[in-house]
Structure 1
Amino acid sequence: MMTHAGLRDPDEVPPGLSDRVLICGVSGSGKTTLAQRLAERWGLTHTEIDALYHGPGWVPRPEFLDDVRALAAGERWVTEWQYTSKGAGDILEPRAQLALWLDYPLPLLRRRLIRRTLGRALSRKPLWNGNREGPVWQMLSRDPERNILAWQRQTMRSWHERMPATLERNPHLTVIRFRTPAETEAWLAASPRRTDAA
């Protein structure tokens, strides 16, 4: 079992306001949806980090890390805790005050990701910088570069593996681990609303 002073269960951390928040979890866990809700509730700016990383044609933007630095320098923000291997974690983690880890069961994550991927593929809704979800048949590919479901399966344990070292590097950071959506909803519902939002 993973234990660390900075890793807490929801009932161990009274819901309160934080100014800089990271949200982690595998693809399909609901990071962006929670970030949007938290931004509205706590008066934070939500920057979707995928929009900073993906340029047209899914090509990584050369300005990515500069944009992450600008984001991290802000006083009130929430974003998805991603692209740690690309250097984003080294920039965001020292500035963050709180992290929320959506560590949900795989069957739930799989259902959510299939629903999201199918919805995007069928609607052809633009995502970031003109990109769109690939065709539905890509969900049958074994290549995680093309198949988001394969990527989810490949990265399912990634936060379990990296979290201990991440917490050692960032002793100031409290990480709340949510194991079910019901835990997340209860904690969010109990959290205060910011009344001095700019």
Structure 2
Amino acid sequence: MVGNSGSGKSTLAAGLAARLGVPCLELDSVFHMENWTPKPQEEFRAEVDEFTLGDAWVVDGNYSAARDLVWARADTVVWFDLPRVTVMRRLLRRTLWRMATGAELWNGNKESFRFLFSKDESIIRWAWTKHAEYREKYRRAAADPGNAHLTFVRIGSRADSERLLSAL
């Protein structure tokens, strides 16, 4: 599963994994250690490498540091390509809910108002600036002959997600 923050990757990944009866790895949960400290790249890659040695799995995330491992062993890439306004609405609602409830994400980390308004750490700002980049990156990847072993499934709406899940 690849695509912008707030696009629905984790939700669909969990649903697909449950429907298929396979394990699911959310790359954010591996990468973000306590206090939002990034895991060293060698350790991050080692965990992803070990997970993707399994026969069947679902991986959720955009980390270029592990893309070669995941895509070499995958048969399908589900690419979330929702309209920017949809992504921003979902992400803002999710972020505010997490802050209001104090929901723990990974390894004790929580979203805070500092992350909402920070120039360098805002998930909202990140998603806004990465939207067009992700769209172009995954459009090119789908057309790349080097990825001919992969089936790319583009998700452009909630209905597309629901159709994919119900087709299994």
Check whether TM > 0.5: yes
Alignment partner of 1:73 out of 26, 50, 53: 53
2:166 corresponds to 1:186: no
Q: Structure 2: give runs of 5+ residues left out of the alignment.
A: none
Alignment partner of 2:104 out of 107, 113, 126: 126
Map residues 1-198 of structure 1 onto 2, 5 A cutoff: 23-62=1-40, 63-84=43-64, 87-135=65-113, 138-141=115-118, 143=119, 145-167=120-142, 168=144, 169-191=146-168
Q: Structure 1: give runs of 5+ residues left out of the alignment.
A: 1-22, 192-198
AA partner of residue 88 (structure 1): A
Deviations 1:123-157 (A, max 9, x none): 1111111111122x64334x2x3211100011001
Q: Determine helix, strand or coil for the equivalent of 1:155.
A: helix
Q: Which has the higher contact order (CA 8 A, sep 6+)?
A: 1
* CA distance in 2: counterparts of 1:80 and 1:40, whole angstroms: 14
Identity %, equivalent residues: 37
> Residue 164 of structure 1: CA displacement?
4.8
Match of 1:194 in 2: none
CA contact (8 A) 2:49 2:69 kept: yes
TM-score by length of 1: 0.78
> Residue 110 of structure 1: CA displacement?
0.9
> Residue 113 of structure 1: CA displacement?
0.2
Say how many residue pairs are matched.
164
Q: Determine helix, strand or coil for the equivalent of 1:93.
A: helix
AA partner of residue 151 (structure 2): T
* CA distance in 2: counterparts of 1:183 and 1:26, whole angstroms: 16
Higher-Rg structure is: 1
RMSD: 1.5
Q: Determine helix, strand or coil for the equivalent of 1:101.
A: strand
